[in-house]
């Protein structure tokens, strides 16, 4: 998942990595509407392309997500939880997606590949390793879930009331 607009550079790497993926698992690529053209006629039994899907819906049935590291996506990865390979966007203010990703990486709750280091071979080897190492995948999920703030809205209300009422 690469955000609502997709990412042409990451979509291109994923496209080139597909032949390197082990073929005993299913891959769903959420390309973004702008990059949908790249994947026309490339679907197979194991690979499906969609321009958009609700993040929560996609993550619920997902063993592993390859995604950007925006705040909403990070919170969904932690709350659901899902093992993830995070590819922070280099085109965001103050590099905040790298900092988001590092929070999970530092807690062994995700793997990060910075876009400048991303290659089809690296992506495929990372995906193949995680799909076949169920213990590692489960550890990422468990650690991500420990970071979840499922009652964040209530915490914010309490904080606001505390500020208002002193």
d(CA 109, CA 104): 5
Residue 77 lies in a domain: yes
Give domain status of residue 1, yes or no.
Answer: no
Q: What is the CATH number of the domain that holds 78?
A: 3.40.50.2000
Whether the model clears a pTM of 0.95, i.e. scores above it, the answer is no
How many structural domains compose the chain? 1
**pLDDT tens-digit series, residues 89-140:** 999 999 999 999 999 999 999 999 999 999 999 999 999 999 899 999 999 9
Q: Tell whether the torsion through CA atoms of 90, 21, 43 and 111 is positive or negative.
A: negative
């Amino acid at each position: 998942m690469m955000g609502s607009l997709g990412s042409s550079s990451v979509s291109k790497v994923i496209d080139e990595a597909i032949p390197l993926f082990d073929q005993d698992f299913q891959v769903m690529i959420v390309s973004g509407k702008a990059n949908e053209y790249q994947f026309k006629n490339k679907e197979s039994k194991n690979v499906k392309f969609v321009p958009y899907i609700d993040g929560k819906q996609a993550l619920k049935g997902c063993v592993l997500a390859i995604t950007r590291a925006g705040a909403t996506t990070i919170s969904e990865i932690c709350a659901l939880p899902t093992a993830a390979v995070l590819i922070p966007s280099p085109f965001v203010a103050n590099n905040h997606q790298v900092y988001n990703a590092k929070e999970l990486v530092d807690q062994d709750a995700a793997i990060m590949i910075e876009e400048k280091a991303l290659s089809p071979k690296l992506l495929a080897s990372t995906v193949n390793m995680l799909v076949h190492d169920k213990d590692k995948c489960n550890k990422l999920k468990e650690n991500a879930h420990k970071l979840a703030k499922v009652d964040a809205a209530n915490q914010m209300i309490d904080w606001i009331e505390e500020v208002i009422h002193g």
